[in-house]
Structures are given as structure tokens and as C-alpha cells.
Amino acid sequence: MGILTVLREASNDESKELLATNVLEQTKGREIVLSSHQIASKVIENLLEFCSDETLGEYQEAFKADIRSLCLNGFSSHVLQKLISISAMRYLTKNSVEDEPPEKKIKTEDGIPLGILSKSKSFVETCSKFLLNNLEEFVWDSYANHVIRTCLTTLSGRILEEKVSIPGEWTEIFKEYVARLRDWPFFADFPYQELTSGLLQFLIQALARVDKNTLKSIGGFFTEPNTSETPQESPSKLHKLFSTESSIRFLEVLISVAGNKLFTKIFLRLFQGNFKELSLLKSANFSVQKLLDNMKNKDDFNICFTELEPHFAEILQTGHTGIILALCLACKRLEINQNQFIKVGLPKN
């Protein structure tokens, strides 16, 4: 771990690159073995960000030889995630293979010139396709599932904060992920299990970046009114998405990325008429806060405020003060119901 201390104390990026490149050079031929080791994997994971393009390419070549074992190991899977992310970021930020200087060119085994940046692009595609081809197995593995999430993030360009041009090949692979997942008989159950809910959260965040129509379709699918359960099976009138912690986390992410039409659909199907009950529930009150934080329509907010106004005291008694704060901030942001909020909040003589 002394290497990481030296890395943190390095004075500039050039020093960090030199250290990273020198250390990783010592791992040549043992990349996969060392990445599967608890301590060594942490060192490699941290150094990859700073190594030279050439050293990064050597790790890409080594990892392509056994992607399966890397995905299924608790330590090497993290290194693989980091390598995919770094490869994508370097390609997307530099963007064009044609702009590379001649000295940055390398050759494939067939002797075909291939830019180092293009090699990073190819590595992202190779890993993403491998996981896609093994999707039915890897979705249920706790380590490989997280590698899939990284692939979705990189293929959509969400790895970078700013929007950038995404290669057409990445878009096609991403679309195939979406199609394969949606075709699964188990897809409807994804929000209700922790592992698949997490994957679904990454998927909809990626869709918000690249395909808002599909996001709206998937959001509509999961917020369809309850129809399959009898009143005896589900005595609560609340939507099934409020039934588990995993599905509530998914709903909160869906609210945060939803466009106007999907947001209104979520509001009408899941929240209208249920604000008091949801605000008093320990498990669901954060969903109400998330809805209020993202609300843009004054008419929708007025409905929400009207439902909650008589119950301010009860909400405060439960300790869910975040609901009241979210209401206050929404009143200010939307410039509506501010006087009513102040009157309700004033102590009664």
C-alpha cells in the first residue's frame, strides 16, 4: 500500500504517470493473477488511471484473454470495471483516431495499423459484447452484474458529465442490451430484487442520456396500475413499486430522470391521492421528497400541496421533516402556495 501513498503524494500528473507506468510494467504477464489478489488489485485499480496509453493497451490485451474469470472474481471485477471506464474516457475525450500522431500508432497481430485510441474503443466493445452474450448468466452474479452496469454507463457516454459524440457501434450494442433485457420474462420483477434493481437504475440513467423514448416506454411499463393482485393479496391501494426498498430506490431514480410526460404519468398513477400515506411511511417518504424536488408543473404541485397541507403536524410528528422542507423549496421554486405554506407553518395562538 506504500505505492498508493507515493501516488497520492506525487506532485503532478507527469510524476503519477511515470510511477503508474513503472509499477504496472512489473506486472507484465501476471496481470490477471495479480488483479485477482485483494491487495494487488487495489493498487492496480488506482494506477490504471494514470498509466501511459501503451501500458493501458497492454492491460487491455491481457484482460481480453479471460474476461469471464475477471467478471466473476470479487477483486478482478473491480479492476475490469476501472479498465473499461478508463478506456472509454480516454477514447471519448480524445475522440478521433485520425488525430493521433504517427508515434502513437500500433499494429494488430495481423499487422493492420490500429491507433491506440481505437484500441481503447475496441476493448470497450469486446467486453460489452462478451457480457451481452452471457447476459442471462451474468445478471444474477453479484460481481458481473456491476461490470454490466459499467458497460451500460460507458456505451451511453454517461461516463462523462458533458455530452459527447458516441460511436455508432456503442449505440448498437447498447440497444441490444435494452432489447435483450426487455424481452426477458423476469424483466417485470427487476425492480423488486436488490441486484437487478441496481442494474435497472443504471439502465434508465443511461437511457436518459441516449434514448428518452425508450425511457418513457420502460417507465410507463413499470408504473402500470396494479392489476394482477386481488385485494386479499394486496390490501394496500399503493402501487407495487412501494412494496420493497429496492423498488423504491428504482422509483426515486426514475423520478429524477423522467421527462415531463413520464413524470406526469408517475405523479398520476402512483402519488395522486396517496400523498398523506406515503409521507407518513418511513420507507416511502423519500420518494415524495424526490417527486417534490423534481416537480415542474404548478398544477401538479397544487394538487400535492392541497393533499399534504392538512397533515403538516402529523408529518412533523413522524420526524419526516424532509417532506416539509421539500414542499417549502418547491413553493419557492415554482412561486406558488407560498402564503399558504407560511400560514400553515405559523404557530397557532
Report CA-CA distances (Å) from 240 to 34, 227, 243, 291, 295: 45, 10, 5, 17, 22
Please state, as a whole number, how many other Cβ atoms lie within 10 Å of the Cβ of residue 43: 22
Pick from 281, 209, 206, 205: which is nearest to 241 by CA?
281
pLDDT of residue 9: 54
pLDDT for residue 98: 45
What residues contact 111, with CB distance under 8 A and at least 6 apart? none
Q: Which residue has the cell 426498498?
A: 245
Q: What was the pLDDT predicted at 5?
A: 64
Per-residue pLDDT in tens (0 to 9) along the chain, 349 residues: 566 666 665 556 677 778 888 889 899 999 999 999 999 999 999 899 989 999 999 999 999 999 999 999 999 999 999 999 999 999 998 764 444 455 445 554 434 335 778 899 999 999 999 999 999 999 999 999 999 999 999 999 999 988 889 999 999 999 999 999 999 999 999 999 999 999 999 999 999 999 999 999 999 999 999 765 544 454 568 999 999 999 999 999 999 999 999 999 999 999 999 999 999 999 999 999 999 999 999 999 999 999 999 999 999 999 999 999 999 999 999 999 999 888 876 555 4
The answer to whether the beta carbons of residues 178 and 205 sit under 8 Å apart is: no
Which pLDDT score, from 0 to 100, does residue 111 have? 40
